[in-house]
Amino acid sequence: MKAFSFRLNAPSDCDSVGFPEPCSERKQYRRPSLKRLIQLNSPEWPYGLMGMLGAITAGGSMPLFVLGITEGLIAFYSLVPGYLPQEIRKLSILFLCAGIATLLFFVTEHYFFGVMGENVTLRVRRLMFTG
Per residue in 37-92, pLDDT (tens digit) is 788 888 889 999 999 999 999 999 999 999 999 999 999 998 888 899 999 999 99
Q: What angle do CA 15, 19, 25 make, to 5 degrees?
A: 95
| DSSP 8-state code for residue 26 | S
pTM: 0.65
What's the average model confidence in pLDDT over 26-30? Answer: 75
Contacts of residue 113, Cβ cutoff 8 Å, sequence gap at least 6: 47, 48, 51, 55
Contact between 75 and 91 (Cβ < 8 Å): yes
> Tell me, what's the pLDDT at 19?
58
Banded pLDDT at 23 (limits 50, 70, 90): low
